[in-house]
Structure 1
Amino acid sequence: MKLSACIVVYNGYDEALKAAQTVLRFTRRHPLTLYLVDNASPDGSGQKLEAALRSGLLAAGEGQQVVVRCRTENGGFGTGHNMVLPELDSDYHFILNPDIQLTADTLSDLADWMDQHPDVVMARPALVFPDGRPQQLPLRRCALRPMVYRQLPALRFWAKYNDAYLMKDKDLTRPTEIEFCTGSFSAVRTRTFRAVGGFDEKYFMYVEDADLTQKMRTQGKAYLVPQFTAIHAWHRAAHRSLKPALWQTGNLLRYFSKWGFRW
């Protein structure tokens, strides 16, 4: 079985380096190609990653390969990930954020689990904060009320819609079929990822992972597989500043026009 993984970087060299190092350190059971795609970072992260590869800070182990790609312009999250799509010859591919850290061979674990469940084309592990607290991430399709509530939590009368978005009505301690697989850490069958054309590059940032999940679900099932875990720092920029929030709002409208409105 062959694995591949991609981390798209925009500034934040130190965090991306740490993420890449944990992927290389813990992914040992299957051959791995790790791609680091720099989205024209103004802080020189791409050049620093190239230097880290040359110096051995990104040392590939047996059966591993590290590839750094530096884009000349920032095309967004999906475009960065799609850059490596033509090169993939793996069985399973992993879409990872630079704020992810592994503490076990989670990539191999997920790949093995998916190999045993041929109807599953996309999956993610349980994610936790660096202090070990579990993260509650969307698991159902995007809908307007929970998205608004997540920006404006003072609207407490809509909290129940957010609870539904998080599938709090389900037992999430065992593998569960989901409708939304977060782009911070997703495993995909490579042949299916290629068949659907990867990410829709019209989404510059935000909601592109929800869109990809729906594309993948036209070919099979998406699952949360909580017995496997990873650390996710989860910076949540859309909740802290106006520009990312506007990107998210515009992309949500695009998503609804494509997949249907949910109130």
Structure 2
Amino acid sequence: HVVLNPDIYWDGDVIGELTKYMDRNPDVGQVMPKIIYPSGETQYLCKLLPTPIDLIGRRFMPIRSYRKKHDYNYELHWTNYDKIMEVPLLSGCFMFLRVSVLEKVGGFDDRYFMYAEDFDLCRRIGEISKTVFYPFVSVTHVYEKGSYKNKKLLKYHIQSIIKYFNKWGWFFDTKRGARNKKCIQTIKLL
């Protein structure tokens, strides 16, 4: 099953390549290709499971150097996005999902209108199967950042983030810490 934003496009057989990868790896429940800007630059959309500080700080912190340093770790910039890696949080802009896993986790949580619904779904998928970044095919994402430009969308974004942390835990989330630590250790071994 594919879920994608309307501002995604690609050339070539991306779907076929991802299907072959999923067929060869039955333990993978979700895979995301490399996501690029129209300019060809990589979009850093592989992330660790967020803390409230991760999301609030990167959105509202006015100090650019802080955000850049923070994002280097939170968005896994140090991996170079050039290898297959299991990542706890993949962007919802392009979600290639194994139907049996999607059914097992119950699909999207209806409590989310938009924003953070991908965080929640990816996290639930990651509890029963692998969530994998696959860099050998790419799609282009125009990436409008609507909630940065529109107050109504910002309101929806904030409401969704509150719902996410109410569900998974604000500061006391042992699963988050363990999953992030495992991700970092595994990638360093690649």
TM over 0.5: yes
Query: Which residue identity is paired with 1:251?
Result: S
Aligned to 2:55: 147
Aligned pairs for 1:76-115 within 5 A: 93-115=1-23
1:153 and 1:113 map into 2 onto residues whose CA distance is 39
Please report how far the alpha carbon of residue 157 of structure 1 lies from its aligned counterpart in structure 2 after TM superposition.
5.8
SS at match of 1:244: helix
- Compute the TM-score of the two structures, normalised by the length of structure 1: 0.61
Asked if 1:214 is matched to 2:126, the reply is no
The match for 1:124 among 10, 17, 32 is: 32
Q: In terms of Rg, which structure is larger?
A: 1
SS at match of 1:235: coil
Unaligned runs of 5+ in 2: 173-190
1:211–1:255: 8 Å Cα contact kept in structure 2?
A: yes
SS at match of 2:78: coil
Asked if 1:240 is matched to 2:149, the reply is yes
The list of structure 1 runs, each at least 4 consecutive aligned residues, that deviate by more than 4 angstroms after superposition, is none
Query: Which residue identity is paired with 1:147?
Result: L
Deviations 1:70-112 (A, max 9, x none): xxxxxxxxxxxxxxxxxxxxxxx11111111121111111111
SS at match of 1:147: helix
Of 202-211 and 138-147, more deviation after overlay is shown by 138-147
Unaligned runs of 5+ in 1: 1-92
2:44–2:77: 8 Å Cα contact kept in structure 1?
A: no
- Compute the TM-score of the two structures, normalised by the length of structure 2: 0.83
1:161 and 1:182 map into 2 onto residues whose CA distance is 18
Query: Aligned in 2, Cα 1:131/1:170: closer, same or farther, shift over 3 Å?
Result: closer
Aligned to 1:5: none
Decide which structure has greater helix share. Answer: 2
Aligned to 2:75: 166
Of 168-177 and 232-241, more deviation after overlay is shown by 168-177
Alpha-carbon RMSD across the aligned residues, in angstroms, is 1.7
Aligned to 1:40: none
Query: Aligned in 2, Cα 1:229/1:124: closer, same or farther, shift over 3 Å?
Result: same
Aligned pairs for 1:26-37 within 5 A: none
Aligned to 1:26: none
Q: Number of paired residues?
A: 171
Matched-pair identity in %: 28
Query: Aligned in 2, Cα 1:262/1:134: closer, same or farther, shift over 3 Å?
Result: farther
Please report how far the alpha carbon of residue 167 of structure 1 lies from its aligned counterpart in structure 2 after TM superposition.
0.9
Please report how far the alpha carbon of residue 210 of structure 1 lies from its aligned counterpart in structure 2 after TM superposition.
0.3
Higher relative contact order (CA closer than 8 Å, sequence separation 6+): 2
Aligned to 2:100: 191
2:163 and 2:107 map into 1 onto residues whose CA distance is 17
Query: Which residue identity is paired with 1:196?
Result: V
Please report how far the alpha carbon of residue 222 of structure 1 lies from its aligned counterpart in structure 2 after TM superposition.
0.3
The match for 1:133 among 31, 41, 51 is: 41
Please report how far the alpha carbon of residue 215 of structure 1 lies from its aligned counterpart in structure 2 after TM superposition.
1.1
Deviations 1:43-70 (A, max 9, x none): xxxxxxxxxxxxxxxxxxxxxxxxxxxx
